[in-house]
Amino acid sequence: MNVLQIAYYTVLRNIRDWKLFLLLIGAPFVFYLICANITTNVNHGINSQKFKIAYLDTDSGPIGQQFERFLQTQEILTAFDIQKADSLDAGNQMVKGGKIEALIYIKKDFSQSLKQGKKANIEIYSNKSISATRLLVEGFINTVNASSAIPKIAGDINVTEVSRGIQQIAISPTGKTFTDSDKSSFIGLLEMLSYGALLGCLTVINIIKKNTLLRFNISPINDLNYVSGQFLGNYLTLCPSSGLFIAFTYFIWGSAMQGSILIIILTFLVFTVIITALGMIVGYLTKKTGLGALISVCLNALLSGAAFVWMLGTARGFMNWLVFFSPQYYVYLIVTDTLFDGFTSRIQASLISLAMAATALTVVTLFLGRRKAI
């Protein structure tokens, strides 16, 4: 009798417990389908498509001219497709119609106001993200403030929303990244996947409660074989949902995939080890179905939550600290960096962190799972 046999029967029993199995495989699957529907495709950013903007200069003073020259510089032209608007109304129509992303409007007497030491505004009309345009304008304001040697003269940017549907556009080295809804659905999926911890937890408790542990205690197999068999069985049971996740990642976000799918597969193989081990450890420690399930769920919510809050950039205090213990956080880093050609060093560091966590948790599981005569 070896580990594989025990693993085989463990898988068999896990699958036979079809309600739990459906919950663990089916729930993520439904979630994938929902996500696939709401996930807008990855934003292809400023590189693949230039930002179309227009400007309207009614100032006709020196600073307005300076701005026009600024817009014609090579660096600006690589990122922006710039045209001149005929009037404020015409410009706004273009924004509404989606022909341009934003309209930059320099008011009459802009130069005059600045000369008199008053504050002057450059206005941006947009119904989309204004970050790129804003950067552009800010860049200009800084040069004006520096070059005009008039201290404390600032140009404020006034953003006027033309219509709803403002979206943030993030910027990555290659200009491709997850949109916010991609990020949320990704972490959501990770969380669903992490509920797999329930499986390990419940099988461990079940076998103690149903007295079947005794059969192993009286049989001539050694402890390590027994626990590893169970571990492997639970692991294999959870693999289909990981596989589904990888496929989902590939087909939904894969269009933007720069890095290797192998890294992503490896990540999920390691992540599944962590989930399995976490669940089994909770099972061994609690030995009670209700408590074990509750702790598994809360632990997962906490770890996924930390990754989620971090991703939104709203992590504070405890959460900021907790995120380093969240496997979901590392998976997120690896997958986004792999998909969008991020930092190789960060991929490596995250993978190593995950692998170390997986090793440590596996050792703890095998240790706790040793059958003990009481």
What residue ranges bind another protein (CB under 8 A)? 1, 5, 9, 12-13, 16-17, 210-212, 214-222, 373-374
Q: With respect to another protein, which residue has the nearer C-beta, 177 or 234?
A: 234
First-residue to last-residue Cα distance in the chain: 25
Q: How far is the CB of 6 from another protein (least distance, A)?
A: 8
Minimum separation from the CB atom of position 43 to another protein (A): 47
In the bound complex, what is the minimum distance in angstroms from residue 219's beta carbon to another protein? 4
CB of 201 to another protein, least distance (A): 17
Backbone angles phi, psi at 40, to 5 degrees: -75, 150
Give whole-number Cα distances, 211 to 207, 215, 278, 305, in Å.
6, 8, 23, 36
Place of tokens 């307005």: 64
Give the residue from 292, 373, 328 showing the smallest Cα distance to 194. 328
Neighbours of 73 (CB within 10 A): 9
Minimum distance between the CB of residue 207 and another protein, rounded to whole angstroms? Answer: 9
Nearer to another protein, 47 or 225 (CB): 225
Nearer to another protein, 11 or 170 (CB): 11
Cα radius of gyration rounded to whole Å, the chain: 28
DSSP 177: B
Closer of 110 and 226 to another protein (Cβ): 226
CA dihedral 223, 224, 227, 229 (to 10 degrees): -120
- Residue 68 to residue 84: CA distance in whole angstroms: 10
Nearer to another protein, 129 or 289 (CB): 289
Rounded CA separation 228/283 (Å): 15
Nearer to another protein, 36 or 214 (CB): 214
CB 21, min distance to another protein, A: 11
Looking only at the bridges linking them, the beta strands covering 120-126 and 80-84 are unpaired
Return d(Cα 228, Cα 287) in angstroms, integer.
19
The 3-state DSSP class for residue 151 equals: coil
Closest to another protein by CB, 22 vs 312, is: 22
- Smallest distance from the beta carbon of 373 to another protein, in angstroms? 4
d(CA 35, CA 54): 35
- Distance of closest approach, residue 1 Cβ to another protein, in angstroms: 5
Nearer to another protein, 226 or 308 (CB): 226
DSSP β-bridge partners for residue 177:
43
